[in-house]
């Protein structure tokens, strides 16, 4: 039997797509990768995923798993060869169960993140993973890429929220590793190996996730800081005074907010003189008055100490949402302005002021007029340190001429300051060469050994990560 | 050159021990394993560890890494053959650095846990890992075994506190994976693979750990619950009202506290009628009055709802310590009473009442008169569900006759309720057969593939885990 016939037998002929417009599966959402699949297969169950992988393994055909296709590094679309099977998990979108006393939820890989947040919220519970793509990204992809987002400061990355996994191996076996356990020291932690492996070791088909009680009150504030040193000092104060109540600490540089003002002039500019604007979020199990009082005490203390120059506390939920909207508008304003060079880097928080000082100067020297759109999750040491062409310069020409040199300068500086060139977006196809060049040979040898041991035919998402 | 000569050249002849009383290294602290080493080697640096492992690999000699030798499953002592090298990390006990703004600390594997807690506390910071052996266990062993303890409810297991590792591989290479980063998605997560692998994949020589601000106030309470159902209901209430402020939730059965009263009659019995006694700990960044007020509101609410029958809130730090002392006296009282069968199991919290009801009855039926000493970290779903010989029965005889049957009954029940037969103590030599029998063949095949890929000579702690 041909592979396509086997796939049709496994999943139903209507779920093996080979004709028509398949760009929703073959092109990534930033439209930087234009692939061509041998077929798009949409299995509806774990058994169908396993049968799909077994058939592909028998025919030595590569499998590219895909969730919501919202990745930023070309890890979830097929290459242009027309030889790879695109395995979409979108039909596997059942919530298998919710255990309120255990604070856990089990869901299939194709569940959209926001739909799971809503399922939890309907029980008064919080699924604490939140990112810009949450309306279309899928939980399987979130785990396969170890997604980050805005709640990492309090709750950790996607891996920190995962209690167990169900995975189809490269042989088409099913590892039934779903679990609601907080503690399980029975052998090597396979869960953490699959999380963040970007589909190169197997296909995540379902996961058990941690939940938490919904906070009784959440408040937001903006603070103006004169320098990143002051922003880091504010972070230390906020952590000491709010503890786990500090659930967000985002930083926005002036150029980033200038870009928002330029492209979305209707949005208010609340602290127009700020060199650095910090968005703080405080969540509490007590009521809103107590939460706001703690917040105001923190900010008054920081003003007095001089690490904050001005501050605004949201007076309502609508105001809180408006402050977050400002932060979320930065990538949209960047997109309006044209293609740019995105850097998703992380550093020890203590190293960020010196890194930015050094790297800003070096970029300005080598690429005169360049705009440094710097914002991100300062509480996690994660900056989206993006480089936009000089005003008026055609973005595509700028990228064609300078993207490689800009990356080299930035990633060299990141390495010199003890940081990572991929904090939350992963490696995919985009940063595979960087990984090979920048990761230690000892680490790479171990990764390649693991890949060869688990996927000796190299059929799982080949050409990504390693 | 002979292996012993090579080891002496690598580490200094005075740090290669082959004579005299080596029982501190060769016998585990429960005195259940009596090994015999070819030599005890005490390297003083990462380079010396690497040279030691290279020499052993060249001679095809097994290496057994050891920290404080406080493990409970025979994973850190040599076998009796006299052919294995015991590699003690105790001389590697330097704190390499502390980064207050980044809330991280880098320490060598041989640092005693309590000494690191003290280093952090001197800066006003908390290293949130705490367990009974903290005065002698080492951080390298804590990570190699993914230690648990009393603060997992709030802070997670040892793996959740680790940002980066330095590891000597089975080839004697050094993986320089120390890192202060909260986010780093550059390839497979080797850190989580080494954590919990019990020295079978390499030797952890140093680690970077997360710190947190010290809480401003910590208070403790005891609550009497009529059933485990009520204790689980109290847990849900405490989580919702205290959020991350709930830093401890331990349960103690009546038989466990009876045993404490019997062997330590001077200790007060605060809630003598309690069927189940819960120890709650609440930590807050606010002052002690606010913390105690929140605690009292929670307990009043729980009393009114009927899930608590009586409660005592500690009025002072000394009273808090006395309540914890009661909890910590249970294993000591058990040891006084004689050898017993320890079960370190975990379950979904929601499954605990039914599991205990079912398993208590089955054990009482099959082993009349048996005493079920049940206590543990209920907030994590982790019970130390220990079985003590009937009163007056010689413990060694009871264990010789019944240990295997008791284990089979308990572990079968654990599996039927979705639990794990090793929550925090690991596998070592003790539970290797259980792992082989109870873990899924798919998971075992992946673990064995990883072991063979990273340690093809099988020299790292052979006979443990797999």
pLDDT at A307 exceeding the cut of 90: yes
User: What's the confidence (pLDDT) of residue B286?
Assistant: 80
> Are the beta carbons of B192 and A187 separated by less than 8 Å?
no
Interface test with A, best of B46, B186, B217 (most A CBs within 10 A): B186
pTM over 0.95: yes
The alpha carbon of residue B262 is apart from the nearest alpha carbon of chain A, in Å, by 31
Q: Which of A19, A18, A15 is nearest to A41 (CA)?
A: A15
Share above pLDDT 90 across residues of chain A, in percent, rounded to a whole number: 92
> What are the tens digits of pLDDT across the range B126-164?
999 999 999 999 999 999 999 999 899 999 999 999 999
Residues in chain B closer than 8 A to A196 (CB atoms): 185, 187-189
Report the chain A residue with the minimal C-alpha distance to residue B351. A102
Interface test with A, best of B177, B446, B455, B465 (most A CBs within 10 A): B446
Distance separating alpha carbons of residues A260 and A364, to the nearest angstrom: 21
Distance separating alpha carbons of residues A3 and A65, to the nearest angstrom: 17
Q: Counting Cβ atoms within 10 Å, is residue B316 exposed (0-12), middle (13-18) or buried (19+)?
A: exposed
User: What's the confidence (pLDDT) of residue A293?
Assistant: 87
Specify whether the CB–CB gap between B154 and B203 falls below 8 A.
Answer: no
Alpha helices in B392-440 (DSSP H): 395-416, 432-438
The alpha carbon of residue B68 is apart from the nearest alpha carbon of chain A, in Å, by 19
The residue-averaged pLDDT of B459-465 equals: 98
Report the run of H or E that residue A228 belongs to, with start and end.
helix A228-242
> What are the tens digits of pLDDT across the range A167-215?
999 999 999 999 999 999 999 999 999 999 999 999 999 999 999 999 9
Q: Give the CB-side neighbour count of residue A351, counting CA atoms within 13 A.
A: 23
In eight-state DSSP terms, residue B13 is: G
Q: Provide the pLDDT confidence category of residue A102 given band limits of 50, 70 and 90.
A: very high
Q: Provide the pLDDT confidence category of residue A1 given band limits of 50, 70 and 90.
A: confident
Q: Provide the pLDDT confidence category of residue A138 given band limits of 50, 70 and 90.
A: very high
Residues in chain A closer than 8 A to B418 (CB atoms): 179-181
Name which of A190, A350, A450 is nearest B99 (Cβ-Cβ): A350
Residues in chain A closer than 8 A to B381 (CB atoms): 102, 180-183
pLDDT at B426 exceeding the cut of 90: yes
Distance separating alpha carbons of residues A277 and A234, to the nearest angstrom: 12
Distance separating alpha carbons of residues B369 and B402, to the nearest angstrom: 13
Decide which of A65 and B270 is more confident.
A65
> What are the tens digits of pLDDT across the range A219-236?
999 999 999 999 999 999
Report the chain B residue with the minimal C-alpha distance to residue A415. B179
In eight-state DSSP terms, residue A420 is: B
> What are the tens digits of pLDDT across the range B428-450?
999 999 999 999 999 999 999 99
With tokens 């039926």, the residue in question is: B365
**Dihedral over Cα of A437, A441, A447, A453: its sign:** positive
pLDDT at A69 exceeding the cut of 90: yes
Report the chain B residue with the minimal C-alpha distance to residue A283. B243
Whole-angstrom distance between the N-terminal and C-terminal Cα of chain B? Answer: 32
> What are the tens digits of pLDDT across the range B367-394?
999 999 999 999 999 999 999 999 989 9
Instruction: Give the CA radius of gyration of chain A.
Output: 23
User: What's the confidence (pLDDT) of residue B313?
Assistant: 92
Report the chain B residue with the minimal C-alpha distance to residue A101. B350
pLDDT at A134 exceeding the cut of 90: yes
3-state secondary structure of A289: helix
> Are the beta carbons of B241 and A285 separated by less than 8 Å?
yes
Q: What is the DSSP string of B244-266?
A: GGEEEEEEEEHHHHHHHHHH-TT
Q: Counting Cβ atoms within 10 Å, is residue B108 exposed (0-12), middle (13-18) or buried (19+)?
A: buried
> Are the beta carbons of A381 and B186 separated by less than 8 Å?
no
3-state secondary structure of A184: coil
* Sequence-separated (6 or more) residues with CB below 8 Å from residue A326: A252, A257, A260, A267, A268, A270, A279
Distance separating alpha carbons of residues B298 and B246, to the nearest angstrom: 11
User: What's the confidence (pLDDT) of residue A290?
Assistant: 82
> Are the beta carbons of A212 and B239 separated by less than 8 Å?
yes
Specify whether the CB–CB gap between B40 and B22 falls below 8 A.
Answer: yes
* Sequence-separated (6 or more) residues with CB below 8 Å from residue A57: A170, A171, A172, A457, A459
> What are the tens digits of pLDDT across the range A140-158?
999 999 999 989 999 999 9
Token pair of B455 as six digits: 């340690």
Report the chain B residue with the minimal C-alpha distance to residue A433. B186
The residue-averaged pLDDT of B46-53 equals: 98
> What are the tens digits of pLDDT across the range A348-359?
999 999 999 999
Max distance between CA atoms of chain A, in angstroms, equals 76
> Are the beta carbons of A182 and B380 separated by less than 8 Å?
yes
> What are the tens digits of pLDDT across the range B186-216?
999 999 999 999 999 999 999 999 999 999 9
Residues in chain A closer than 8 A to B176 (CB atoms): 440, 442
Q: Which of A352, A221, A223, A220 is nearest to A277 (CA)?
A: A223
CA distance readout (Å), A457 to A175, A451, B187, B430: 19, 10, 19, 36
Interface test with B, best of A54, A181, A185 (most B CBs within 10 A): A185
User: What's the confidence (pLDDT) of residue A289?
Assistant: 85
> Are the beta carbons of A380 and B102 separated by less than 8 Å?
no
The alpha carbon of residue A42 is apart from the nearest alpha carbon of chain B, in Å, by 24
Q: Which of A12, A111, A92, A86 is nearest to A45 (CA)?
A: A92
The alpha carbon of residue A392 is apart from the nearest alpha carbon of chain B, in Å, by 34
Name which of B239, B243, B419 is nearest A244 (Cβ-Cβ): B243
Residues in chain B closer than 8 A to A105 (CB atoms): none
Residues in chain B closer than 8 A to A349 (CB atoms): 101-103
Name which of B201, B213, B449 is nearest A239 (Cβ-Cβ): B213
ipTM exceeds 0.85: yes
User: What's the confidence (pLDDT) of residue A30?
Assistant: 84
pLDDT at B294 exceeding the cut of 90: no
Rounded mean pLDDT of chain A?
96
pLDDT at A286 exceeding the cut of 90: no
């Amino acid at each position: 039997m041909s592979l396509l016939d086997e796939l049709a037998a496994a999943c139903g002929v209507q779920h093996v797509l080979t004709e028509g417009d398949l760009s929703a599966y073959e092109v990534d959402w930033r439209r930087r990768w234009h692939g061509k699949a041998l077929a798009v297969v949409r299995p509806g169950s774990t058994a169908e995923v396993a049968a799909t992988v077994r058939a592909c393994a028998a025919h030595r055909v590569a499998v590219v798993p895909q969730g919501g296709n919202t990745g930023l590094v070309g890890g979830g679309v097929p290459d242009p060869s027309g030889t790879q099977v695109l395995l979409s998990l979108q039909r596997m979108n059942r919530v298998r169960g919710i255990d309120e006393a255990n604070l856990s939820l089990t869901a299939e890989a194709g569940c959209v993140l926001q739909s799971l947040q809503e399922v939890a919220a309907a029980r008064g519970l919080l699924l604490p993973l939140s990112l810009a793509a949450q309306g279309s990204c899928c939980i399987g992809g979130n785990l396969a890429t170890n997604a980050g987002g805005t709640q990492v400061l309090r709750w950790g990355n996607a891996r920190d929220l995962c209690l167990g996994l169900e995975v189809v191996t490269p042989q088409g076996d099913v590892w039934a590793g779903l679990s609601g356990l907080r503690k399980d020291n029975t052998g090597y932690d396979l869960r953490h190996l699959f999380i963040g492996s970007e589909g190169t070791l197997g296909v995540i088909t379902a996961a058990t996730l941690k939940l938490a009680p919904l906070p009784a009150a959440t408040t937001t504030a903006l603070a103006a800081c004169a320098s990143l040193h002051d922003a880091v000092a504010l972070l230390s104060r906020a952590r000491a005074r709010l503890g786990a109540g500090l659930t967000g600490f985002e930083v926005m540089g002036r150029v980033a907010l200038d870009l928002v003002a330029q492209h979305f002039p209707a949005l208010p500019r609340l602290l127009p003189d700020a060199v650095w604007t910090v968005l703080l979020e405080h969540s509490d199990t007590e009521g809103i008055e107590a939460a706001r009082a703690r917040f105001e005490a923190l900010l008054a203390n920081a003003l007095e100490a001089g690490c904050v120059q001005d501050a605004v506390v949201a007076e309502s939920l609508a105001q809180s949402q408006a402050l977050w909207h400002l932060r979320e508008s930065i990538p949209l304003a960047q997109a309006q302005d044209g293609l740019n060079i995105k850097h998703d880097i992380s550093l020890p928080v203590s190293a960020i002021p010196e890194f930015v000082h050094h790297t800003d100067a070096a970029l300005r020297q080598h690429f005169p007029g360049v705009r440094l759109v710097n914002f991100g999750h300062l509480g996690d040491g994660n900056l989206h340190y993006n480089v936009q062409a000089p005003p008026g310069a055609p973005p595509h020409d700028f990228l064609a001429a300078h993207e490689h040199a800009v990356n080299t300068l930035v990633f060299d500086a990141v390495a010199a300051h003890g940081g990572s060139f991929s904090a939350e977006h992963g490696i995919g196809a985009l940063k595979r060469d960087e990984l090979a060049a920048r990761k230690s040979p000892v680490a790479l040898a171990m990764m390649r050994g693991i890949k060869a041991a688990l996927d000796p035919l190299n059929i799982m998402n080949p050409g990504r990560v390693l």
